Each structure stands twice: as structure tokens, then as C-alpha cells.
Amino acid sequence: MAQVLTPTAAPGSPAEGAEGVRSAGSDPARASAGALAACNATLVVENMYCGGCMRKVEQALLQQPGVASARANLSARRVTVTCSTGRVSTDDLIEALAGAGFKAAPLLDEPAAAARSADRDLLRRVGVAGFAAANIMLLSVSVWSGQSGDMDTSVQTLFHWLSALIALPTVAYAGQPFFRSAVQALRARRLNMDVPISLGVLLATGMSVYQTMRGSQQVYFDAAVSLLFFLLIGRYLDQLMRSRAAGAAANLLGLRGSMATVIHADGGTERLPARSLAPGMRVLVATGERIGVDGRILEGRGGVDESLITGEADPAPVAPGRQVFAGTLNMGPPLVVEATATDESTLLAEIGRLMTAAEQGRGRYVRLADRAARHYAPAVHLLGLATFVGWLLTGHGWEPALTAAIAVLIITCPCALALAVPAVQVAAASRLFGRGVIVKAADGLERLAEADTIVFDKTGTLTLGEPRLVGGGACSDGLLARAAALAASSHHPYARAVVREARDRGLDPVAATDVREVAGAGLVRDTAAGEERLGSAVWCGVEGEAGDVATLWYRPAGGEAAAFRFEDRLRPDAGEVIATLARAGYRVELVSGDRPAAVETAAGEAGIAQWHARQNPAQKIARLDALKAAGCKVLMVGDGLNDAPALAAAHASISPSTAADVSQTTADVVFQGERLVAVVEALAVAKAARRMALQNFALSLGYNVLFVPLAVAGYATPLIAAIAMSSSSIAVTANAVRLRSKRLEL
């Protein structure tokens, strides 16, 4: 039965709408976050090998009714399709790609098995081609040696026929990946780079058989089989490196617990697949078992390895009431967890979608490479034809003319150019993910690399965002309960601290209804007696210096405002991170909506000289605009509703995030865990990625500048062309893969 996609508000849609979406009737450079109410399907495209293939895949899908966008990922050989209206069947998408000459299938939950099978198939073909090339080369060396000695012509002819007996089945078997791709392209009335490769191998083999039948000594069996051997080596290593670079997002879902032990109401247990669980179920997690759901601990205390989510190596202590996430590992005694999110709704699945969106996005460098490859492919075909005609016009025979033209077509394949930036992008996103940093925007790393000024928010960003109420005993239980009822509707750290204090007193506050949250001000609710408010001093009617004595105020309907004072610790590495940024030449500022005394204290402890207090969202944006007018490219680091406009207005943005905020934040990059060093890591990786992207451009262009004239002049045979082309693709991919383990300093 065909899978049908229906338009829904997909989780992670902000990432799907990030920069780089190529959609019908829109500029791919800038699509607003969340602009598409969309559903997604990911297809594996088996024979997508170059930038031209990638463009044709996207065009074929965009022509289908109901398809809003199509984004191909050359590194992973996948395409993500987003629908906007109507009902779109995956069978229709696969059929559309088949009509364009591409073989596609839906991405399964376990893509690794198919990838391993493809790797083994290519490796077998490499082995057959290598064995045959070695034996044919031995026969060829004997013939070459005998031409200057006393070897009879009949013996030389016999050796040529032996070479043919080895070469013909080898070409038929080892050349299938290229031949199939070329036939599919020609059936769709298009050209890809496997067409000239297949043409070169078949012509060289056919000419060799013809010359052997004539008794001529000019045979090319060794060149044809060696050409296949080196091309297959290049394709195998290229595929191997792609899978290594693109593995982080693809492997995420495999880290979910496949089975879970469900506790029924009567106390009985049952082992069920994790994907069949539903919110509200109680799940028993044994020691050493992966948690299969997002949920809240009901029973048990111990430690959970959350390195998959936060990047922190030490197990996190857990107790009843603590939230845990799918994919994390129980390192302590058994736990009983109440499921709150399952299967595709878990944080792990959300992170996987964000990672895939970042890998398949189009940054500026990627779009530049796409345009270059699009114009480059037709040019090289014309160059090959011109080479053939030129050699004929200069009096050479058709054989050397055709050989030179084939060499030109092979050597000018733009695979290295098409891979130059996507490989770096995938490697950078994979490295950051391993450190608890998720890249969401397509060109987020490019803009991070350009930043020269960093503006931090205070609460929840420079600090841990876990303030504790100080002097709570001065508040009556009734007053605290009413304030906590308002606060329960907000995710702000101060609001959570009020709720936590109320629960510690055993009040168990229930969230009030009809509560409105005003960014940068606070919460308000209409009651029969009038408005009650929780928020800043000004918001609660406290004016002048009186408002500086507390961070949060609560004003009941018709009553006097009550003060709530908090203390919040800086992140453990905040001072070290600020010092590192200053040494690297960044201008650092602290801009907060908190009162001046608290902001000054935090800035002093962190080592930030320039700070601004009592800044509402509009004032934060005004400060960013002032820095922009001064020529600065600002990176905003903040969280919370009041920081969202500033995050969107900055040149680049990073946000620390909890599970609930991952899909809601407008930041380009989200980091998990308590350590602020993630900001330094993101900046270092962004700068290294930019350097490597430029290096890859230089490698691919330099290769063409060096070898194309040699091929046109006849100095590069098809064999040399194959080696050069494979080497260039391997070089740019290997350079990108270095980023995953390279030691970086800001």
C-alpha cells in the first residue's frame, strides 16, 4: 500500500523552513521559519552521483502536484520532500524520479544494512577488476617485451585473445554500476557523468576486440579494465567516506531502545516494541537498558548516561519527578518511567529531524557550488566534442581523436566540485552533534564564522537558569500558591523557581487558565476581582528604586505587589569561555532584562566589561541594530521568549535549550547541557568549516586547471583521466572528513 503524505504541522518545522529550502515559487536563499505547514518524506536515490543529478532530482519532484519543496543531499544520496496541500503518495514521487531516470526508495528505519550491502557489492567489483587488470597487465608486458625480441606474431595474437577472454566478462560485471546509471540517464533523455565513462570503457574494449581480430598490436584491454578498476576504487572510497561523514543523524533512531517492558495496571509486565508505546504507559527500565520513551521518573533513583543528548560524559543523577529521554542509558538501579512522548515525538527523533534538515540545507557556499556544477556540465561536453573535432582537423586519425575526447569527458567530471561543500557541512554537523550541539539553519555555520561580536543574555544563558527563591519564608502559603498558579503557565527560569518552591512546601500548584505571557514583561490573568500579574517591577506597578530590590514581583488583584528574590549561579565554565572569546578577538557584551545590580554582579564574575540591564525585547533589538550600524556582525546567545526577537534579528544565534524548547527556538544552533564551552566549539568548527570549504573549492578547481589542458593536448590517456578524477573526489571528501576529529582552537 502506498504511503500517503498529508500536510500537518511537522515537528521541527522551523528547521525545515530554514534557509536553503529550494521550493517552487520561492527564493531558496531565504525561506521564513515555519512558513510551510508541511509533511516530510525522505527517499534514497541510488544513482545520484553529481551536482547535475541532484538538480534533476529536485526538478522532477517539484513538478509533482502538492510538492512544496525538494532538497537533495548528495553526501547521503537522499532527497527530502515537503508537501503543502493535498495528498502526496511516495509511490508518485518514486515514479516521478523513475521517469527522470533515477531509482529511488523510501528511507527505512535501518538504512545501515542497505549501505553495508552496497559497500560489499562495490568491493566485490573492485576485487574482480583489480584481479583482471593485474593478469591482463602481465600479458601486456609480455607482448611489449616480445615486440623488441623474437616473440612470434601468432604468440602475441594468442596473448591478445587471452586478454580479451579476461577483459570481456570483467567489463560486463565490474562496469555495471556505471552502465546502469548511464542507461537510466539516456532513457530519461538526459546526460550524467557516467555516460562518458561508460562510453570510454565500451569504446576502448570494442576497439581492442576489433584490433585483435585484425591482428593489430594496438589493443587497449589493459587500459579499459584498469580504467574500471580505478573508477571503482574511487566510487567505493567515496561512498565509504560519505557514510562516515553522514552517519550522525542517520544513526540516531537506531539508538532508541527497540523493546520496552510495560507495566500494566494489574502489576503484570509485557515486552513491547518501543514504537508501539503510547503516552501515559508505565515503562520499567532495567540496569544497562536504553530508555525507549521520553518520560518522567515515577520510581527509582540512580544515574542516566545522557551523553547522546547533552554531550556530557558523566551520568546525570535522577530521582522521581526527573525527566528522561529516549535513547539515554540507565546506569543505575531499575527505574519506572511514565511515558510522555513516544516514537517520532521524542526528543531524539526531533534532534534527528533537525540534523537532517541542517545536512540537507543549502548554505551560500553550497548554492555557489550548485550553480558552478550546473553550468560546468554542459561546458565539458562541448569541450569533449571540440577536442574530437580539433584532433580530426589537425590531421590525426579517428582513434587518437576519440581517445583524447574520452579522456577530456572523464577528467572534467564535476563530482569534486559538487562534493566540495556538502561533505564539509555534514562533517561539521556530525562533529558538533557529538558534543551536544545541534545545527539547525542551513547556512548557520557560515554566518557563525563571520561573527565578530558576541552578545549574551544572562538568565538561563550565562547562568544555569535554575534560580532558587531566597527568603521564601517571608511569603505566606496562600500568596505563594496564587503566584505559582500563574507561574506554572511559563517556562521562564524564575517562573519555574516559584513553582518549585511551592511544591517544596507541599502546595502542588495547578496552572491557572487564561494566562497570557507578554515577552519581556511577565504573565497576566483576568479574574473577577481584576488583573493579577507576575513579572518585572514595572509590569507589576512598582516604580523607581523600589523595583531594584527584587527580580520578580507578584501583584494580586487589588492588592500590594510582593517581591521574590532569587539567586542564580553562573555556568561552571562561563568565566573561562568569556576569557577565551576575548583572547580570540571577539567583542563580548551582556544584555539582560534583569535589574542592574544582578546584571552587574554576573558581568563582573564572568569578566564582561560591557553590560546593559533592564532591556526589553525592543531594546535588545535596538542594541543589536546599533552594533550592526557600527559594522559588527553579531552572534546572539540567549534563551527564553523575550530573547526570540533578538535571536532572529542577529547575524547568527545560539540558544541553550531544554527538550521542550528544541523545536520552538529561532536560533541557528542549539546546545544541550550546562557547559557554555559549546559556544566556543561551535565558533571553532564554523571557522574550520569555512576554511575547508574554500580549500575544497581550490582543490577541485586546481585539478581542472592542471589536467584539462593535458587531456585536450593528448597527454592524459583515459587511464590517467580516471585516476585523476577519482583522486580529486577522494581528496575533497577526505579533507572534509578530517573535520570530525581535527583538533581545533578558536
Mind telling me the catalytic residues? 457
Task: For residue 5, give the amino acid letter.
Answer: L
Report residue 445 as a C-alpha cell: 555555520
Q: Which residues on adjacent β-strands are paired with residue 67? A: 83
Q: What is the largest CA-CA distance in the chain?
A: 117
Give SS3 for 206.
helix
For the four alpha carbons of 621, 623, 624 and 628, in that order, the dihedral sign comes to: positive
Q: How far apart are CA 112 and CA 503, in angstroms?
A: 47
CA–CA distance from 693 to each of 58, 449, 696 (Å)? 23, 12, 5
CA–CA distance from 515 to each of 489, 493, 532, 643 (Å)? 7, 17, 10, 20
| Whether the Cβ atoms of residue 652 and residue 668 lie closer than 8 Å to each other | yes
Give SS3 for 497.
helix
Where b means 16+ CB within 10 Å and e means fewer, 620-659 reads: bbebbeebeeeebbbbbbbbbbbbbbbbbbbbbbbbbbbb
CA neighbor of 196 nearest in space, from 11, 354, 404, 12: 404
Provide the 10 A C-beta neighbour count for residue 321.
Answer: 9
Alpha-carbon dihedral angle through residues 626, 629, 634, 639, given to the nearest 10 degrees: 30
Intra-chain end-to-end CA distance of the chain, in Å = 53
Provide the 10 A C-beta neighbour count for residue 395.
Answer: 6
CA neighbor of 72 nearest in space, from 430, 352, 361: 361
Cα angle 475, 480, 484; round to 5: 150
* Strand ranges inside 4-52, DSSP E: 4-5, 39-45
Three-state secondary structure string covering 187-221: HCCCCCCHHHHHHHHHHHHHHHHHHHHHCCCCCCH
Give backbone dihedrals phi and psi of 27, rounded to 5 degrees, phi first: -80, 120
Task: For residue 720, give the amino acid letter.
Answer: I
Q: H or E segment at 554?
A: strand 552-555
| Whether the Cβ atoms of residue 248 and residue 429 lie closer than 8 Å to each other | yes
